Structure 1
C-alpha cells in the first residue's frame, strides 16, 4: 500500500528545496531557470539535473521523440521508477535526479537505503517503494493546503482542468537520460559529458516545447544545484586563506599557518601570486578583499531568499477560512457585504461583455 493520498504541489524552487531537506538531502537546492541562455546557466553551476514542468498531452508523432528503453537495454545502475502514485510526479522527478547523482551528493540515509533496497527491483516496484516511504510521503504532503472544504467542479460545463506533469533530465555514466515515471522506461538521448550534457538537455526541452501551440506558455524549468550559501562560505574560506598568506609575505600578518591543513589547499595559487612583485601582491590583496565582500553579499542575499521561501511555505500551509468567515461577518454587520457583492457581479458581467466583444471583433476580421 502507498500509505494514502498524495497532494499536488507547486513548481516552486522554495517548495522543492524544503522538500528535499525534509527527506534528509544536504548541500543542494532548487533554482528556477527563467531562460535557457548560457549566461544564466553559468551563474548557477554546478547543475546536477533539470526538472521540466509542462501541460500533459499525448505526445504527437515526432522524429525527435525516442522510444523508452526496455529493462534489457537499461543500464542496471540507473535508477528509474514508474510513477504508481497519483499527483506525485514532482517528487518522482526530483528523486530521479537525486538517486542518480548519489556519488556527487549527500542524499541522506532514507534515500540511500531506499536506493540500495530497490535498485534490483523492477521499475514498477521501485515506484511502490517510493510510495511506501513514510518520510518521503510526509515531506511531499506537508505542502498540502489546509482546506476543510471538498470543492466539486461543475462537470456539466464540459471544461476539463489541464493536467501538468514533471519529468527530469540527468546525465548518468556518460549518457543523457529523460526520466519520466509515466513512460515504460528511461529515454536515452545519447552520449554526453559533464561539460556538454546541459546543452543537449536544453535542446530536448526546446524540442518538447516546439510540439505545443505558440499560445501555450505554461512551462517551468527547475535545476538541482549546489547550495549557494555553502558554496559562498567555502569560497570565503579559500579567499581568506590566500589573503592571509599574502599578508604574511608582506609582514602584515605574524600568525603561523604552517600547520593549517586548509592552507595547503591554496598553496599552489598562493605561490603563483607570491612570484609577482610587491606592488602586484598589494593589488591582489585589494582584489581578494573585494571578492570576499561580494561573497558575503551573496550569503546575505541567499539568507533573505531562504527567509522568503520559509514565509511563503508557511502561508501555503495556513488555513485562511476562519479569517475569511470573520471578515464576511464583520462586513455583514456593517451592511457592506451586499454592496460589495453587487459590485462584483457587475464587474464580472462587464468583463464577460468585453470578452464577447473581442471575439466578435476578431471574427469580423
Structure 2
C-alpha cells in the first residue's frame, strides 16, 4: 500500500470539491436537514444519498441484513467494493453513487478508467484497488483537517472510540440499493425508479435510525445532486444562482482553513500577548495568569454541574 488514508468530514463543501478534484463535472452535495421526501426532491436531479451514522462496534455480522436483502448477483452488474482500509469509507460511499451513475453523470477520465479496470474484479479486489489508488487517496487526504499532533495514518479505533461510518443509497436498474463496503454484498430494498427514489429511500433511512436509542442524534445525510447552478441558469433564477456562487466561495474558504496548520500562528500570537503583558510592568502578567486560571476553574465547575467530566476539552 502506498500510504494511509486520513479522516475527512461529512460536509457538503468537502465532498463537492473532492469529486471535482477527481474530475467529476456538474455534481454537488447538499446537506439534508429533515427526513422528508419533499426536501430531497427540492434538491433537483438526485443521484443518491450518503448517510453517516455511529457504527455499533462489536456487532456481529449476520447472514441476513436487518432491513432489505443481500443481492449477491448485483455486484456483477454494478460497482460495489468491499471496504478494506480504515478512514476511506466517505470517499468510497460517494464513489459508490457516482460510479454507478456513469453515463448519467460525467465522472471524468480517471474515475472511468478506474471503473473499467476494476469491472471484472470481485468486491474485495475492488476494495484493494481503491485503497491502493494513489490518485484517489491523495485527493481524499487533501481534504483532511491539518493536525500537528495526531498521525491519522497510524491511528486505530478502540472499543471506547466513537466510530462513524458512511454508506450510500442509490437507484440502479430500477432497484433501491444500499451500498456498504462492510457488508458482503449490495442490499436491495426493492423496486425503485429514479423518480421514486425520494419516496423509497426516506422510509429505509427512518427504519435504520429507529433502531438507535432516542437520545442518539449523531446522523448526517448528504444528497448527491446535479450542480444547482445549472438549473438556476436554465430558469433564469439569478437570485438562486448568486446564492449558490456565494456558497461555493464559502466552501472554498472553509476547505482552505481545513488544510492550514495554525499552531505557528497561535504560538506567535501568544508570544505577542505575553510580551505586551510583561511590557505593562507591575503585576499585570501575574494578574492576567490568575484571571485565566479563575475562568478555567469556572468552566470546569459548570461542566461538572451539567454531568461532563472535569477535563475542559471537547
TM-score range, shorter chain: 0.7 to 0.9
The CA deviation string for residues 140-167 of structure 1, in whole angstroms up to 9 with x for no partner, is 0101233333389xxxxx9933111100
Confirm or deny that 1:349 pairs with 2:297: yes
C-alpha change, 1:356 and 1:329, in structure 2 (3 Å) is: closer
- Matched residues in 2 for 1:141 and 1:337: separation? 42
- What residue is the counterpart of 1:4 in the other structure? 3
- Residue of structure 1 in register with 2:95 after alignment: 95
Which structure is higher in RCO with an 8 Å CA cutoff and minimum separation 6?
A: 2
| Stretches of structure 1 lacking an aligned partner (at least 5 in a row) | 153-157, 237-291, 360-365
Which residue does the alignment assign to 1:13?
12
1:48 aligns with 2:44: no
Aligned to 1:147: 147
| Cα RMSD after superposing both structures | 2.4
Equivalence map 1:107-256=2 (5 Å):
107-150=107-150, 160-233=160-233, 235-236=234-235
What whole-Å deviation, never above 9, does each CA across 1:99-152 have from its counterpart, x for those lacking one? 111121100011111111111101011011112222211110101233333389
Which is helix-richer, 1 or 2?
A: 1
| CA separation of 1:341 and 1:41: change in aligned 2, threshold 3 A | farther
| Structure-2 residue corresponding to 1:267 | none
Aligned residues: 293
Q: Distance in 2 between matches of 1:114 and 1:340?
A: 59
Q: Which runs of 5+ in 2 are unaligned?
A: 153-157, 278-283, 308-314
The structure with more radius of gyration: 1
Residue aligning to 2:271: 329
TM-score, with length taken from structure 1: 0.74
User: Partner of 2:70: helix, strand, or coil?
Assistant: coil
Residues 151-198 of structure 1, C-alpha deviation per residue, up to 9 Å, x if partnerless?
Answer: 89xxxxx99331111001011111111001111111111111122222
CA distance in 2, matches of 1:325, 1:122: 51
Given the alignment of the two structures, is residue 317 of structure 1 paired with residue 265 of structure 2, yes or no?
A: no
Separation of aligned partners in 2, 1:80 and 1:169: 12
Q: Which residue of 1 aligns with 2:26?
A: 27
SS in 1 for 2:76: coil
After superposition, the Cα gap between the structure-2 partners of 1:128 and 1:319, relative to the gap in structure 1 and judged at 3 Å, is same
Within-5 A mapping of 1:262-341: 292=236, 295-335=237-277, 339=287, 341=289
